[in-house]
Amino acid sequence: MSRELVTVDLLVDGGQASPGGAMGPALGPLGVNMGNVVSEINKQTAAYMGMKVPVKVTVDKKTREFELEIGIPPASALVLKAANLTKASGNPNTEIVGNITFPQLIDVAKAKWADLTAGSVTTACKEILGTMVCMGVTCEDKDPRDVQKEIDAGKYAELLAAAEELTF
């Protein structure tokens, strides 16, 4: 017997998904139990509370069974959480809205690792720093571009080497 699968891509609030918004019209016609879907999404995204999380819901139209694939929030959302901010700067070139430490930068890079093209924690950190430039968020109270230069100069080599060992 062949399966008839339908995949729906959603962006939900971590740990706070509800059957309203885009979810209801997308999943309702598939006959899936919305309460079960919402409950499972909230359970699996609880660690990303307060962030937007990409979720793929695959539904078998015949059996109405579903599977979830939870993605990783955007790098900007991870940076905002690390900096304890609700939104980025509207004018990142002139308005700095927050700061994270270098260890927090490493944590964000490691959390986002699966979605990055980086081959090492060092290059992953540099990618996240590039995102931070556009957000008006500094690292160690310095412009992210300056921190990238410091990484190239070897200033954070010991921290990065320790992070590489834990990652691989």
Cα gap 63→44, rounded to integer Å: 22
Question: pLDDT value at position 76?
Answer: 93
Question: pLDDT value at position 117?
Answer: 82
A 10 A CB-CB count for 160 gives: 21
As its CATH architecture, domain 5-70 has 2-Layer Sandwich (3.30)
| Domain 75-167 sits in CATH 1.10.10.250 | yes
Q: What is the pLDDT of residues 88-107, one digit of tens each?
A: 999 998 999 999 999 999 99
Q: Is the pLDDT of residue 78 over 80?
A: yes
**Do the Cβ atoms of 50 and 76 come closer than 8 Å?**
no
Q: What is the pLDDT of residues 97-154, one digit of tens each?
A: 999 999 999 999 998 888 888 889 999 999 999 999 999 999 999 999 999 999 999 9
Segment (H or E) for 108: helix 102-111
Domain boundaries, the chain: 5-70, 75-167
What integer is the mean pLDDT of 48-67? 91
Question: pLDDT value at position 142?
Answer: 97
Q: What is the pLDDT of residues 7-50, one digit of tens each?
A: 999 999 899 998 888 888 889 889 899 999 999 999 999 988 88
Question: pLDDT value at position 51?
Answer: 86
Question: pLDDT value at position 168?
Answer: 46
